[in-house]
Structure 1
């Protein structure tokens, strides 16, 4: 689903547009202004939906966020919310986390406030949390600091993904890309939202080897960090630390290297009808530009040169 900006002077129509893009809600304008300055853009990526919303006026919004978490990231202005018993005020650099099926009232959404709203289905996020943290899903905090390294990394990812989804809707129809992007954005979100408690040891060499064996055995699988951690039986953080300690690279860097090796071998032994794109897709690469750059960096030549045997 993709929804573009709506221009309307009618508050009921504006409210319906935001409900379609993000969550059903009850809207109360706090001024006599019309809805002429509303901004609504949204796109879905499986169980993940990203929206850009600005009312262009001071409003209050009431929602129970049925079946999904809502993460409201102000790009400007201020967002004042009451979530159960928690009072949360978020401005740029902070994000408000609205749990599913819980009464949430945004008591003041200021005129200048435009947000990126990230909606993640509850069951999918909780499943990913169990994989990523290697323990049962836990209650998320009502607010996330996006100025920490993990928070800033997730915010950059969400902003970039928002631009890609809204400007290139073709991504929405590629299941492989959708799964990889969903896994990446949820992993980054959980690592930003849940502090590292220091529990658990770094993954031991045999556990790292177990993951490497799985990656070698099925490199075309759209692996997510959570799935790798599930294979290892440790959290994503512990797995990443184990790979850094024993391999000197991250799990995703190892997977990239394995795929490049398979592509390289196939290009050198290509059939007459094979193309670079065919071979790259065969081994799990879905972005031809990034693939070509990674291949040149590893082998010193473009993949087309290997295909021609030059």
Structure 2
């Protein structure tokens, strides 16, 4: 969904309500007109929306059934929700709980946000799986300048990039599931504090490795692997760093590369492309896959398919 420009406040409110959350909109400057910019991307249990009103406004909503994470790319948003007064600038994000009255009391004229809508039950499940403990006390604001906050933003930008590169690829359920799961897991890691705990034992890491080898094409997310291990995502990541020398995510990619390489060497039907093979093994970003394949095997996957090398 892409909407550019509308001079009617009622229409602007209707468009953004459909794209993000139902709300009541109030322009804060007498005689002003909206210069609306809206882009919306449904992604499984998530929805990404980019919104700019082009005028100073106030917004009131209850965010029915879902969390909202509003990330200013420019300008500022001032809000009140759940007893918290929050002012967010670029590098920060305001978090709004579902089914809770919230008011953005001032959305500045030059403010444009990326809004992330996360289904309540889906995010609660991811919180339980990622943290390895029941804890749903999300903060009212996220600092995106931290390492994990920056990592989440980088992943968010990567997803948008993938959508731009292949407008239909992300619409496939397995791709949408993998991208939304990765975004949700990274968000939880960005907003929740580090937990203490004993080091992960090698057998727990091996349990995850065995499951990955059984089905590397599965839409593995960090939360999926942590659930197999029975520990939090952070503890599993530390275990992989110590015993495997790479992150769980990189290990999944390495196993997939091996399966793809073996299939390309073995020969595939003439009508089958490298992309077909890569997607069959769970690859959703073909550009990054090609670069990773070249680093591992020294040639492009297309060269292996042609029998040139590899």
| Contact kept? 1:220, 1:284, Cα under 8 Å | yes
The Cα shift of 1:163 comes to 4.9
SS of the residue corresponding to residue 35 of structure 1 reads coil
**What is the CA RMSD across the aligned residues, in angstroms?**
1.7
Aligned residue number for residue 55 of structure 2: 57
| Structure 2 equivalent of residue 255 of structure 1 | 252
1:149-186 superposed Cα distances (whole Å, 9 cap, x missing partner): 11122122223433544675323411121111111111
Q: How does 1:95-174 map to 2 (within 5 A)?
A: 95-165=93-163, 168-174=166-172
Name the CA shift for 1:218/1:48 in 2 (closer, same or farther; >3 Å): same
Higher mean C-alpha displacement, 294-303 vs 15-24: 294-303
- Alignment length, in residue pairs? 307
Please list every run of 5 or more consecutive structure 1 residues that lacks an aligned counterpart in the other structure. Answer: none
Equivalent of residue 217 in structure 1, options 181, 204, 214: 214
- Alignment match, 2:274: 276
Pair 1:205-2:202 in alignment: yes
Q: Name 2:44's counterpart in structure 1.
A: 46
Give, in whole Å, the separation in 2 of the partners of 1:210 and 1:158. 30
* 1:54-103 deviation digits (Å, cap 9, x = unpaired): 11222111000000000011111111111021111111111100000001
Other structure's SS at 1:243 match: helix
C-alpha separation between the residues in 2 aligned to 1:271 and 1:188?
36
**Corresponding position of 2:12:** 14
1:230 maps to what in 2? Answer: 227
Query: 1:186 matched to which residue of 2?
Result: 184
SS in 1 for 2:118: strand
- Give 3-state SS (helix, strand or coil) of 2:74's partner: coil
Distance in 1 of aligned mates of 2:268 and 2:162: 34
Q: Deviations over 1:91-119 (max 9, x none)?
A: 11111000000010111111111111110
The answer to whether the Cα contact below 8 Å between 1:63 and 1:103 also exists between their aligned partners in 2 is: yes
Residues 8-54 of structure 1, C-alpha deviations (whole Å, 9 max, x = no match): 11100000011011100011111124434222111110111111111
Q: In structure 2, the residue corresponding to 1:20 is in which secondary structure? A: helix
> Within 1, Cα distance between the matches of 2:30 and 2:166?
37
Gaps of 5+ in 2: none
Change (3 A) 1:295 1:159: closer
In terms of mean alpha carbon deviation, does 125-134 or 289-298 score higher? 289-298
Taking structure 1 as reference, are residues 169 and 276 closer, same or farther at Cα in structure 2, changes over 3 Å only? closer
TM-score by length of 1: 0.94
Inter-CA distance 96–290: structure 2 relative to 1 (3 Å threshold) = same
Query: Are positions 1:246 and 2:243 aligned together?
Result: yes
Q: Which shows bigger deviation, 106-115 or 28-37? A: 28-37
TM-score scaled by length of structure 2: 0.94
